Amino acid sequence: MTSSLHHAIRLTTASAIALGGLVTLGTGAHAASVAVPYECRTWVQGNTHPVYDYERGFDVTVPASVRAGKKFNATYDPDPITAFAEYNQIVNDVRIAYRIPEGAKVHKVRLTGGSGLGDSDVRVEVEGRDIVVSASGPFQGGVEFDLPTLKVTYKAPRTTGTLNFVSGGSGYEDPGFYWYRYQPILDEWGPFECFPDPAKPETVLASTQVKKHK
């Protein structure tokens, strides 16, 4: 990798990390955005290159507790995205995956809100153990856009315990965060692929206690 390209990749991660932190909603109200560390790579001239220290923030809202076997709602709100324009001039096919908590069953999914999505085809699909939100784009580098908030109605398992809500994805073939970008310096298209960093402790975005049904 050339030094300029290596520097560019690090700048991309720095701009992403800057999106995390505390989102203020108004006097006396706030939502804490929990950052998920990802293992990432991109493709340059047919070869893969790692992208270091990449994180994405999420605000996940769930009830503190739920009765076993009962339905409950969860809300997943991802932080806005601003792709580093110099190396991501155009971004297509943006995807974020959320892991279905172990033992819970998906009853209903829907999307609300979002901004800067233009004419994107926006979808939500259940794919194996994950719920995947996607937007086709195109998105311009350097221009902020915000994927919709995902609202899920789950059915709690019949056994008691803790339901942990975490990011989805398990590898580069099963990414938790993804886009397909145009790199203008090299005049080429290529993917940016991420999944939760297995070298770091799993980041729990929220949790719910399943209690005995009365």
Please write the tens of the pLDDT for every residue from 161-204: 999 999 999 999 999 999 999 999 999 999 999 999 999 999 99
What is the C-alpha separation between 20 and 22, in angstroms, rounded?
Answer: 7
Residue 26 has pLDDT above 80, yes or no: no
Q: Reduced to 3 states, what is the DSSP secondary structure of residue 6?
A: helix
Q: Write down the pTM of the prediction.
A: 0.84
Secondary element (H or E) of residue 166 = none
Quote the percentage of the chain above a pLDDT of 70: 84
Residue 13 has pLDDT above 60, yes or no: no
For residue 107, CA distances in Å to 66, 126, 137, 154 come to 15, 11, 28, 5
Per-residue pLDDT band for 37 (boundaries 50, 70, 90) equals: very high
**Which value, to the nearest 10 degrees, does the dihedral of the CA atoms of residues 169, 116, 113, 152 take?**
-10
For residue 119, CA distances in Å to 67, 136, 202 come to 41, 9, 35
In 3D, which of 55, 54, 51 has the Cα closest to residue 1? 51
pLDDT at residue number 214 = 65
Please write the tens of the pLDDT for every residue from 47-75: 999 999 999 999 999 999 999 999 999 99
pLDDT at residue number 32 = 59
